[in-house]
Amino acid sequence: MHCFAKLAYRLRHARALLLWSSTLTVVLLVIGLVWGLFFSPADYQQGEMVRILYIHAPAAWMGLFSYIVMAVASAVSLMGKYPLANLVAKASSPVGAVFTIICLVTGALWGKPMWGAYWVWDARLTSMLILFFLYLGHIALVNAFDDYGRGARAGAILAVIGFINIPIIKFSVDWWNTLHQPASITRVALPAMAMEMLLPLLVMGLAFTAYYVTLLLVRIRSEIAAVQVRASRCSLRSIGKRL
Amino acid sequence: MGGYAPFIWSSYGIGIGGLLVLAVLSVRTLWARERELRLLGTRQKENSIDLQQHLY
């Protein structure tokens, strides 16, 4: 309990970061949305449908990134007693789940006019769907136990095992013949898209990252408050018994 | 939007709506827990005063 009190004290200093990240989220989202919807050019093949990319691709990146954060935090918590690691993992999973479902739904809306179907059992789509189920499983597991520690441990094991899905998602377009196109932005090659499209995409990517940081801070504070509420209730009950 | 407006606007609506709903729910949960913590803190102080009166 003492470590949670220390964490709560430290997180009060994170309020400045929260203010900055939330402001950055709003500013970047407005710029990215207006740019992507009204000022970026239509694609020569996809036409206006390319605009869905400005929501779909950042949501996919952040769906993967949230899982990486959750899996690393889970691995750290399994290696030792780091209360913050458990809280980071628990706070990250609902945010990652929302990013992943946004990616899946916007992908389906893009797929209908482009591929002629909302859904195909393609390797990339299927592995993203598995990622969504992993998030749901993690959320259910950490909340399934009365004992906070046992729930966190069970969720951590699932998150670490489920990490195998991350390279499968990343390389699915290279390992199998898929309908989904390969990555347009890689570290080793120049981006396969025009700068007029790349810039709004990067702005939206930054906006989603700032949103993730903001929500992670809010949810960690919320989880610490929940732990403190539980501890206060226990202490009140014990005082009540003594009276 | 070249006849694709329903697909494009629904994508943006679902995307931004989803982010907004999660943000609102997260902030409301945080506020509720902090309010409960403050209430419990006050009750704890009152009870510890009661306990001291009982003991001494």
Q: Residue ranges per domain, chain B?
A: 27-56
CA distance A221 to A215: 10
CA distance A28 to A144: 37
Which DSSP helix (H) or strand (E) runs through B53? Answer: helix B5-55
Give the one of A113, A215, A242 whose C-beta lies nearest to B22's C-beta: A215
Tokens of A57: 């691709």
| Rg of chain B on CA atoms, in Å | 24
Q: What is the extent of the structural domain holding A144?
A: 2-242
Q: Mind listing the pLDDT tens digit of every residue in chain A (243 residues)?
A: 555 556 666 666 678 889 999 999 999 999 999 999 999 888 888 888 999 999 999 999 999 999 999 999 999 999 987 778 999 999 999 999 999 999 999 999 999 999 999 999 999 999 999 999 999 999 999 999 888 888 999 999 999 999 999 999 998 888 888 878 777 666 556 667 788 899 999 999 999 999 999 999 999 999 999 888 888 888 777 766 555
CA distance A100 to A89: 16
What's the gap in Å between the CA of B54 and the closest CA on chain A?
8
- CA A62 vs. chain centroid, Å, equals 5
Q: Is A56 exposed, middle or buried (0-12, 13-18, 19+ CB in 10 A)?
A: buried
Give the one of B1, B12, B27 whose C-beta lies nearest to A218's C-beta: B27
Residue of B nearest to A59 (CA): B15
- CA A131 vs. chain centroid, Å, equals 11
Q: How many domains does chain A have?
A: 1
Q: Do A49 and B8 touch (CB under 8 A)?
A: yes
